[in-house]
Amino acid sequence: MEVNIRNLSKAFGNLKVLTGVNLTLRSGNIYCLMGPSGSGKTTFFRILLGLENADSGHTEGITGIKTAAVFQENCLCEAFTPIDNLTMVTAGASKETRKLAKQALLKFLPEESLSRPVSTLSGGMKRRVAIARALWVPSEMIIMDEPFTGLDEDTKRMVIRRILECTKDKLVIISTHQEEDAGLLNGILIKL
């Protein structure tokens, strides 16, 4: 799968956020999107996800592809458990599905945390649930907006190992402020 982004521009009033962005993104790669705060990383993701319209330019190859995302705000259902947060994004919540969701989450979190409401988890634990959910849902493309925020160094490295294991044939785009993350992810650097 190949996604082509051609001459993409976006402004909010007088503020030019994206100006003539040209990129070709291919499955099997992890792209690390870097740029100072306010350079338009989230805006770029929102355009790819269809949540925002570009002012000009276009994207090819993205219509209809299954996409998973980690947003900066986690976007979890706080009253529900981590297991519920995974099963609710896939069809059905059979015993078997719940068992698989639990197995997926155990790679990220201690067992005791999986059956209490997300609202009782720490910030870093919530982040891990959001990442586990994006890796759990069937997808061809995964977008992660600063997924490592709030994770300590060891946890970040564990999460990166999981991302590498789970995304082999997918197109993955991850924004980060740490250039070393691109190295850890064997990622291709994109500077905005």
Ligand X SMILES: Nc1ncnc2c1ncn2[C@@H]1O[C@H](COP(=O)(O)OP(=O)(O)OP(=O)(O)O)[C@@H](O)[C@H]1O
- Give me the residues that bind ligand X (CB under 6 A), please: 12, 15, 17, 35, 37-43
- Element at 181 (helix H, strand E): helix 179-184
For ligand X, give the closer residue by CB, 28 or 123.
123
The nearest distance, CB 96 to ligand X, in angstroms, is 38
The nearest distance, CB 88 to ligand X, in angstroms, is 27
For ligand X, give the closer residue by CB, 33 or 132.
33
Complete DSSP assignment for 113-170:
GTTS-GGGS-HHHHHHHHHHHHHHS--SEEEEESTTTT--HHHHHHHHHHHHHH-TTS
Taking the C-alpha atoms of residue 122 and residue 103, their distance in angstroms, rounded to an integer, is 20
Q: Are 97 and 137 in contact (CB under 8 A)?
A: no
Rg (CA), the chain: 17
- Element at 61 (helix H, strand E): none
The nearest distance, CB 90 to ligand X, in angstroms, is 29
The nearest distance, CB 89 to ligand X, in angstroms, is 24
The nearest distance, CB 162 to ligand X, in angstroms, is 23
For ligand X, give the closer residue by CB, 15 or 79.
15
For ligand X, give the closer residue by CB, 17 or 93.
17
3-class DSSP assignment, residue 180: helix
- CA geometry: angle at 13 spanning 9 and 14, to 5°? 80
For ligand X, give the closer residue by CB, 72 or 97.
72
